[in-house]
Amino acid sequence: MRDGVTVRTERPSDLAAIRAVNEAAFPAGAEAGLVDALRAAGAFAEGGSLVAERGDEVVGHLLLSVARLDTGPSVLALAPMAVLPAHQRSGVGSTLVREGLARAARTGHPLVVVAGHPEYYPRFGFRPARERGIKPPFDVPDAAWMIAPLPRYDPAVRGGGGLPAGVRRGRLSHRGGGSRPGPLRLRPHQARRRRDRAQDLGRRARARSDHALSRGRPRGRRGHRGRRAEQRQADAQMTPDWWTD
């Protein structure tokens, strides 16, 4: 038990609570549907559907599914991970991830893949995946595509893909931890417009700063417009238009 949170394997009686947690954490409903689809496809890793309880209430859920690289080896995929809004930022998500990785380490799989916030997952041992020869099955920033090597990790394991059985490209969504704020899930054309707009705002902010410097004024603080432009650009780059509903 950590921070009053107990993590255990899901039971048949938990299915309604698991759906409620995913729907509350991700109101668009894609994650709740994803869990059902993976369950129906038999893609769950053994003991990989975990619930977090505080008292008698299910407050979080994490799923590990079995995926296969296009070169043959099977790996584990972490998604989704959801926490009830009232219990976010209180250690539930971290407890779920640590327990999930501890269980993953006892399997014969070499690694766990995740697409999420690079500020969050490295604390659990996740590292950039492309540098280790694991390519994503979708368009996602390199910093957001990560793997956690397990005890049976072999650097020779390389390849792309990594979609769980029964999940087609364009159908899964994960925003990087459930208990942390993530970018909005957008349709591909919306994500492209958002990225273009954010990049334009970033260019304008830099131009204003360079203009001020050329006129002899110190660059100084970026100001709220510059910070907002940079944040929008960063958020847009972190918005995966993969596995969306």
Last residue of a domain, one of 106, 129, 164: 164
Domain-embedded: residue 178:
no
Strand locations in 126-220, DSSP E? 127-128, 145-149, 161-164
Is residue 133 predicted with pLDDT exceeding 90?
yes
The domain in which residue 47 lies consists of 6-164
Q: Are residues 38 and 151 in the same domain?
A: yes
Whether the pTM exceeds 0.75: the reply is: no
pLDDT at 203: 74
Write the pLDDT tens digit of every residue in 93-129: 999 999 999 999 999 999 999 999 999 999 999 999 9
Domain-embedded: residue 114:
yes
d(C-alpha 136, C-alpha 75), whole Å: 13
pLDDT at 169: 54
Domain-embedded: residue 66:
yes
Question: Which positions ≥6 away from 143 have C-beta within 8 Å?
Answer: 118, 128
What's the domain count of the chain? 2
Dihedral angle sign, alpha carbons of residues 183, 185, 188, 193: negative
d(C-alpha 242, C-alpha 168), whole Å: 10
Conformational region of residue 61, where left means phi above 0, alpha means psi within -120 to 50, and beta covers everything else: beta
pLDDT at 78: 97
Write the pLDDT tens digit of every residue in 136-178: 988 899 999 999 999 999 999 999 977 786 665 544 444 434 4
Write the pLDDT tens digit of every residue in 11-54: 999 999 999 999 999 998 899 999 999 999 999 999 999 999 99
